[in-house]
Amino acid sequence: MCSHVFPALYLNLGAEMMYVLDQRLRRVEDREKSDKVVKEIMLGFLAKKTLEEVFKGHGTPTRAGLKMFFEKVAHCSIMRLNENSMDKLFDLMMMSYKFQLMKMVSPEQIVTITVNHLRALLDLVPLDREIGAAVEHAHTMVAHLPENSTLGSIVARVSIAQMYRDTKLRLTGTSSLCPQQTDQSHVYLLLLCGILDRETTSEYHLKFLLEKDGQIVVEHPQLLTIGDINDNSPQWHSSQIHISLNRTQGGSRTLTAKDPDLGQNGWIRYSVLDTEVVSIDKETGRIFVPNTSSGRGWRKSRIVY
């Protein structure tokens, strides 16, 4: 799951940064100018190219690396922060986010926290189409769940826009997610009501539908990807694999299993029995045959893992 650490940190810490900056800029007499600064920073924070880079997965960043990243985002406008101000801003961001993480009772709640953070950004620059589109795009990039998540857990919070609040929400594409209306008629909680198994289905093409009087008013497609939690062994296409080699054909051969687990937990060590001619590279797992082999003394070999 380390590939998802940076996206979660970026979106949640970035939302906290926007809130702190908005509160500071509210003290400026020229409200129009301060709103412009907030909008410019937010558009830089949620820029498509930036999010695409963030979601590539860079492992767990260092504190210094995170601070440097957000310093660049904070300077997307004409506003400039000195080193002391940036230190204080970053400390506030970290403190607030840590407090929310400490209140979590299950790992899945990180999704709810992220969705709520993104939703709160709309209140900073209300009724702005560019900001609305940027937040909407960010929402589409956080639709990722690990398989075998806890049944009944809250996957997301869905809020219907003001202009569509006389409609009802319906979800198609999977029976494992169930929208549940809250005491606020325009707010739904998306609950996990079925088992997610990446070995069975690795992604779902969801569609959120807003209906009024039996008619579909709005359709919103959403791709949901399912993450591997390293709970299964790689599956081979056959219990026996035949490989033919000759002395004029050296180099390496690669055996590939379907549905290998992700990360180091999915690594398997192989060894070759009954021969000294063929060897397996310890780092890559590839079967290696020396180009200079004469082929004498070859016989059937067994590969075990």
- Can you give the pLDDT of all 305 residues of the chain as single tens digits? 445 678 888 999 999 999 999 988 888 777 788 888 999 999 999 998 888 888 776 667 788 888 888 998 888 888 888 989 999 999 999 999 999 888 877 666 777 788 788 888 888 887 788 888 888 788 777 666 777 778 888 887 787 878 888 899 999 999 999 999 988 888 898 899 998 887 788 888 888 999 999 899 988 878 787 877 666 666 666 666 666 666 555 555 566 666 555 555 556 666 666 666 677 776 666 666 655 545 454 444 454 44
Among 195, 229, 263, the domain-final residue is 229
Q: How far, in Å, CA of 21 to CA of 19, rounded?
A: 6
What is the C-alpha radius of gyration for the chain, rounded to an integer number of angstroms?
A: 26
Burial class (CB in 10 A: 0-12, 13-18, 19+), 16: buried
> Which residues lie across from 223 on neighbouring strands?
205
Q: Is the domain of 95 the same as that of 150?
A: no
Q: Distance between alpha carbon 108 and the CA centroid of its chain, in Å?
A: 12
**Residue at 130 is within a domain:** no
What range defines the domain where residue 187 resides? 143-229
Pair of tokens at residue 272: 């070759």
Whole-structure pTM value: 0.52
Q: Is the domain of 220 the same as that of 241?
A: no
Q: Is the domain of 236 the same as that of 189?
A: no
- Strands of the sheet containing 279-280, edge to edge, are 251-253, 287-289, 279-280
> Which residues lie across from 287 on neighbouring strands?
253, 280
**Residue at 157 is within a domain:** yes
Taking the CA atoms of residue 168, residue 172, residue 176 and residue 181 in that order, the dihedral angle to the nearest 10 degrees is 0
CATH number, domain containing residue 208: 2.60.40.60
Domains contained in the chain, number: 3
